[in-house]
Amino acid sequence: MKKEDQLEEKNPIEDLLRMDRIPHIWCPGCGIGTVVTSFIEALKKSKLDLDKVVVVSGIGCTGRVAGYVKLDSFHTTHGRAVPFATGLKLANPELNVVVFSGDGDIAGIGGNHFIHAARRNMDITIICVNNFNYAMTGGQVAATTPLGANASTAPYGNFEFPFSLPYLADAAGATYIARWTALHLRRVTKSIQEALSRRGFSFIEVITPCVTLYARRNRLGDGLNLLKYYYDNSEIHHGADTRTLDISYQGKLVVGKFVDKEKPTFLDAMNEHLGKVLGDKYVLYGRINDDRD
Amino acid sequence: MKKVKADPKGVLTGSHYLDGDHSLAEGGLAAGCRFFAGYPITPSTETAERFSERIPTVGGVFIQMEDELGSIAALIGASWAGKKVMTVTSGPGFSLMMENIGLACMMETPIVIANVQRGGPSTGLPTLTGQQDMMQARWGSHGDYEIIALSPDSPQECFDLTIEAFNLAEMFRVPTFVMTDECIGHMHEKVVIPPAEEIELVERKWYTGPKEKYLPYKPDKDLVPFMIKAGDGYRFHTTGLTRDERGYPVINAECQDVCVRHLVDKINKNADKIIKLKEEEIDNAEIIVISYGITSRVAIKAVQKARKAGIKVGTLRLITVWPFPEKRIKELAKKIKAFVFPEINCGQVVLEVERCSWGQTQVIHVPHCGGWVHNPDDIFNAIKEAAK
């Protein structure tokens, strides 16, 4: 057999993975890897210079993403991925900064940073993997755990009202907001691609199975059962009013692209405002030929 | 170590009448700081205010963050994107910063933090002085690490030592602190800012070798690894986890030993290059008054009075507090009758003097709980007592 005819066993996205760190730590049936695949496919389809794409993660299962992608990548502290990304972006506006982290990291401990980065319309993309619990530490109740669901620190069921993340992002000022599940692979890819091409604060929530903890504790079966749940209960509703996106325990999941609008980013607003007020004295900062324009 | 001249854009050359807070901002701008992330807190806010006013005409970014946790996170990100970065805070904000100061140590990231100290604990005395965060500056974040901390005694030194702090942070890839206090922060004095060409700055230790051979944490001869910045095509990784030379997490005792020992050695083994002291009339001294920051100015009066009373007193001012001048204190401890050490806390840096004295001399602490500086007579009485 000629060399070129031989089949090679190779992961099609391995050029953007740190293969020297594989196998990864995620459990069988986990949805995080699926989102990573979508992210890498979106990157490949985008026209971005990948040397300028930076991934920032916080702590938790999804926090490990930064360690597996072959890009400039930072595995930071719990909740602080968003302000870390803010620093990277503002210090070098040429960078395309992506925060890839979990619901606990972004909406729990990092919730304050999240809403303020959205308010400022910081030009970064947030991919938030929502598995309804703190998985890395053993399945504790989270800010996203649906009412009534069981968690290791809510052994009698959760009685705290959860966040609806797209609603939170919308209220805080995000300019691109989408929600999908791990079942909607191609749509996740497309949304990430869109988010990367937009200037401003983009937020994508991806609901994923946590088989080992959330599903097991709630007797919801394995990964396949959860994908079946997404399949049976997802309702695509682009442009849905973000006030209607609450998730109830094993209830309907409204998914889609809810917000896609334009607003000056932090740096745009800073340059415009200070330029106007200070005139020639102002030193324009970081206005670059943006390959997304 | 590559040295460069300051960028004239940031240097406000001339003779000024400034308080310490404003002087800190000018020091940062002169040192080439072009990214400031902070959160308002008394008595340090004026530094942030001045930076926000000055940076638009210099070229750079000021951002008021949502809290101090975010300020330090943003500084580390901005530093990895290639900027020189600083923030300013006081007690409660300093406590919030501790989390990511640990991350900056672990990621070996140059950042500069000024702390205009006030009385604590907790909300304490927002508008009144203290020197009670000295131990926190050293080890306030969890785990083992070493940092650099400087202590200015005047608005002029707020300027000078901020530049020095930037140089040290860049040289050693480590968070560097300018530990001033409310008194100096709000004290107006003459501050002379030299022409840009007279300000020497240390350039970050940029890596220039082949990309594929780059290792973010491989120590160089001076123990400091070379640095790169995000966006230059290295596709590197770094983490707050215990990591190897590649920046990859390795969770075991062997890697921890190499990683943590490196963080500690990098500063301690370079201590001689870092430490600056100001000694006066040490040679024939029987008593040496050790002090730092505002307290060293108060101590002068007590020292003069003691000299008039015929006591042989020398003074030693800690310009660098951390790393601690262990060698010098050990040397002096063998020769003198006593150290007298006033500081505006109940006994922090004095513990180091006691340790380094090893029982060879007396160490008399003159504590003060904060809110005001010492009464010079309290220091004088301690000197008199020591001379008996």
DSSP H or E run through B380? helix B376-387
- For residue B26, the model assigns a pLDDT of 98
Number of domains in chain A: 1
- Residue B248 lies inside a defined structural domain of this protein: no
Report the CATH number at residue B345: 3.40.50.920
Residue A3's pLDDT band, with cuts at 50, 70 and 90, is low
CB B18 within 8 A of CB B189: yes
Over residues B152-181, the mean pLDDT reads 98
Residue B380's pLDDT band, with cuts at 50, 70 and 90, is very high
**Which residues of chain B from 237 to 266 reach within 8 Å of chain A, CB to CB?**
237-241, 248-249
The boundaries of the domain holding residue A240 are 30-281
Q: What percent of chain B has pLDDT over 90?
A: 99
- For residue A10, the model assigns a pLDDT of 83
Q: Is the pLDDT of residue A289 over 60?
A: no
DSSP H or E run through B170? helix B155-172
The predicted-structure confidence for A69-88, as pLDDT tens digits, reads as follows 999 999 999 999 999 999 99
- Assess whether B190 and B335 both reside in one domain: no
Report CA B227 to chain centroid distance, whole Å.
Answer: 22
Token code pair at residue A198: 């937009």
Q: Which of B79, B231, B236 shows the shortest C-beta gap to A95?
A: B231
Whether A161 and chain B come into contact, CB under 8 Å, resolves to: no
Scanning every residue of chain B, which has its alpha carbon at the shortest distance from the alpha carbon of A111?
B66
Residues of chain B with C-beta less than 8 angstroms from the C-beta of A71: 235
Q: Is the pLDDT of residue A208 over 90?
A: yes
Q: Which of B66, B100, B248 shows the shortest C-beta gap to A21?
A: B248
**CA A73, A79, A82, A86 torsion-angle sign:** negative
CB A142 within 8 A of CB A225: no
Q: Which of A51, A88, A282 shows the shortest C-beta gap to B77?
A: A88
Q: Is the pLDDT of residue B141 over 60?
A: yes
Scanning every residue of chain B, which has its alpha carbon at the shortest distance from the alpha carbon of A86?
B74
ipTM of predicted assembly, 2 dp: 0.97
Report the CATH number at residue A249: 3.40.50.970
Interface test with A, best of B54, B80, B108, B234 (most A CBs within 10 A): B80
- Residue A290 lies inside a defined structural domain of this protein: no
- For residue A265, the model assigns a pLDDT of 97
Q: Is the pLDDT of residue A293 over 70?
A: no
- Residue A10 lies inside a defined structural domain of this protein: no
- Assess whether B177 and B305 both reside in one domain: no
Question: Tokens 């060879």 correspond to what residue?
Answer: B360
Q: Which of A70, A92, A282 shows the shortest C-beta gap to B230?
A: A92
Q: Residue A92, Cβ neighbours under 10 Å: how many? A: 24
Percentage helix, strand, coil for chain B under 3-state DSSP, each rounded to 5: 40, 25, 35
Token code pair at residue A247: 């998730």
Whether A237 and chain B come into contact, CB under 8 Å, resolves to: no
- For residue A4, the model assigns a pLDDT of 67
- For residue A194, the model assigns a pLDDT of 98
> Which of residues B183, B202, B221 is at a domain's end?
B202
CB B90 within 8 A of CB B41: yes
Q: What percent of chain A has pLDDT over 70?
A: 96
- For residue A291, the model assigns a pLDDT of 57
Whether B100 and chain A come into contact, CB under 8 Å, resolves to: yes
Residue B1's pLDDT band, with cuts at 50, 70 and 90, is confident
∠ CA A269-A271-A275, nearest 5°, is: 120
Q: State whether B61 and A90 contact (CB < 8 Å).
A: yes
Whether B96 and chain A come into contact, CB under 8 Å, resolves to: no
The predicted-structure confidence for B6-37, as pLDDT tens digits, reads as follows 999 999 999 999 999 999 999 999 999 999 99
> Which of residues B182, B202, B222 is at a domain's end?
B202
Q: Is the pLDDT of residue A140 over 80?
A: yes
Interface test with A, best of B34, B61, B62 (most A CBs within 10 A): B61
- Residue B238 lies inside a defined structural domain of this protein: no
The boundaries of the domain holding residue B156 are 3-202
Q: State whether A74 and B80 contact (CB < 8 Å).
A: yes
The predicted-structure confidence for A265-285, as pLDDT tens digits, reads as follows 999 999 999 999 999 999 999
The predicted-structure confidence for B184-196, as pLDDT tens digits, reads as follows 999 999 999 999 9
The predicted-structure confidence for B299-356, as pLDDT tens digits, reads as follows 999 999 999 999 999 999 999 999 999 999 999 999 999 999 999 999 999 999 999 9
Whether A40 and chain B come into contact, CB under 8 Å, resolves to: no
- Residue A14 lies inside a defined structural domain of this protein: no
Q: Residue A261, Cβ neighbours under 10 Å: how many? A: 10
- Residue B244 lies inside a defined structural domain of this protein: no
Number of domains in chain B: 2
Q: State whether A281 and B57 contact (CB < 8 Å).
A: yes
CA distance A183 to A208: 8
Over residues B142-156, the mean pLDDT reads 98
CA distance B197 to B194: 8
The predicted-structure confidence for B38-73, as pLDDT tens digits, reads as follows 999 999 999 999 999 999 999 999 999 999 999 999
CB B225 within 8 A of CB B107: no
Scanning every residue of chain B, which has its alpha carbon at the shortest distance from the alpha carbon of A92?
B81
- Residue A9 lies inside a defined structural domain of this protein: no
Residues of chain A with C-beta less than 8 angstroms from the C-beta of B233: 51
Residues of chain A with C-beta less than 8 angstroms from the C-beta of B71: 83
Q: State whether A91 and B248 contact (CB < 8 Å).
A: no
Q: List beta partners, residue A151.
A: A154
> Which of residues B181, B202, B223 is at a domain's end?
B202
CB A78 within 8 A of CB A111: no
- Assess whether B72 and B196 both reside in one domain: yes
**CA A98, A102, A105, A108 torsion-angle sign:** positive
From residue B346, give the alpha-carbon distance in Å to each of A103, B119, B367. Answer: 43, 11, 5
Q: Is the pLDDT of residue A2 over 90?
A: no
Q: Is the pLDDT of residue B213 over 90?
A: yes
Q: State whether A77 and B77 contact (CB < 8 Å).
A: no
Over residues B162-175, the mean pLDDT reads 98
Q: State whether A83 and B35 contact (CB < 8 Å).
A: no
Whether A88 and chain B come into contact, CB under 8 Å, resolves to: yes
Over residues B270-297, the mean pLDDT reads 98
Residue A5's pLDDT band, with cuts at 50, 70 and 90, is confident
- Residue B265 lies inside a defined structural domain of this protein: no
CB A220 within 8 A of CB A214: yes
